[in-house]
Amino acid sequence: MTSHVTTHVLDAVAGRPAAGVGVTLSRHAGGGLTGVASAVTDDDGRVRELGPERLEAGVYRIVFATGEYFAAREQRTFYPQVTIDFSVEDGQGHYHVPILLSPFAYSTYRGS
């Protein structure tokens, strides 16, 4: 079974998808990070395929460029970026990592 990553960013203040958010995916390896992929959320706030179709088991990091997103809307924000580390296990398939975003808070969960 393949393991791959998707995400969805919703702007809780505006009540709509957060289009144009930069997203990077890295893998923890050898005490550092190795870049895997980068993308920008589409008009629906989604990145439908982030990285390769097959990820090795390990710990990964997604970074959302939330500061740039809010700066483009002339809004102050407390979080210049949102960083989420998560584990990928063999045979677990799809990893959906969404965030609900506002300038001073965010939440995330493992989606489906």
Q: Which fold has domain 4-108?
A: Immunoglobulin-like (2.60.40)
Q: Where are the alpha helices (DSSP H) in the chain?
A: 66-72
pLDDT band at 3 (very low <50, low <70, confident <90, very high): low
pLDDT in tens, 24-81: 999 998 889 999 999 999 999 999 989 887 888 899 999 999 999 999 999 999 999 9
Which of 1 and 67 is assigned the larger pLDDT? 67
Q: Return d(Cα 35, Cα 20) in angstroms, integer.
A: 20
d(CA 80, CA 65): 7
The amino acid that residue 5 corresponds to is V
Residue 111 DSSP one-character state: B
The answer to whether the beta carbons of residues 57 and 12 sit under 8 Å apart is no
pLDDT band at 1 (very low <50, low <70, confident <90, very high): very low
Report the predicted TM-score, pTM, of the whole model to 2 decimal places. 0.92
DSSP state of 8: E
Q: For residue 67, what are its two tokens? A: 């500061």
Give dist(CA 82, CA 11) in Å, integer: 13
Which DSSP letter does residue 15 get?
T
